[in-house]
Copies of this chain bind each other. A is one copy, B any other.
Amino acid sequence: MYAAPSIQKLLDELERLPGVGPKSAQRIAYWILNADKATALRLAEAIAEVKDQVRFCERCFNYAEDDLCEICRSPKRDAGVICVVSEPRDIPPIERTAVYDGVYHVLGGALSPLEGIGPDNLRIAELMKRLASEEVREVVLATNPNVEGETTAAYLARLIKPLGIRVTRPASGLPVGGDLEFADEVTLGRALEGRREV
């Protein structure tokens, strides 16, 4: 296919992005070519800025622009409750619920013997250090509800419970707005086990 070298280079870089195939790369490239220069450069700068300014929070390993992330720095957050997640991307969905006001700890993955990811590859030592030095009443294990996430949660529960800290896990059950008819049996089983008085 013919394209000016700088356009071809842009197409190549765009196609690396997740969910962007050759067709969408082309749509985006022509959008950038047609956009006024300031608009296009704002995108370029936003990419450069994020790589320049974003690092890991020293306490919880969430993305941060300072030594500590905004959640760790906030005086409104309850530092006595730590929600453990696999990745920084798991934090925004929890924040959006607006029902959680504790802090976080990002493991950087989940246990997976198959992929050779053991406890030493995750930020578990850092979590245990926090539990030893901070006044923590509860740890919410919000790893993913899949094999790796459940394994990680079970592993962490065994480590943390002896410290006399409450260990919880978000309820498994039927998604709100979903159809009982279409629920898989594992989810429905969990929902029944976890049934609550109304």
Contacts and interface: CB of A to CB of B under 8 A. Distances in A.
A6 B39 contact: no
Interface string A40-69: 111111111111011000000001110001
A179 interface: no
B53 A6 contact: yes
Copies in the complex: 2
Contacts of A39: 16
A-B residue pairs, 9 tightest by C-beta? A2-B95, A44-B47, A10-B46, A44-B44, A13-B43, A13-B46, A44-B48, A6-B53, A30-B89
Interface residues of A, number: 55
A7 interface: yes
A170 interface: no
Interface stretch (A19-27, A78-86, A151-159): A19-27
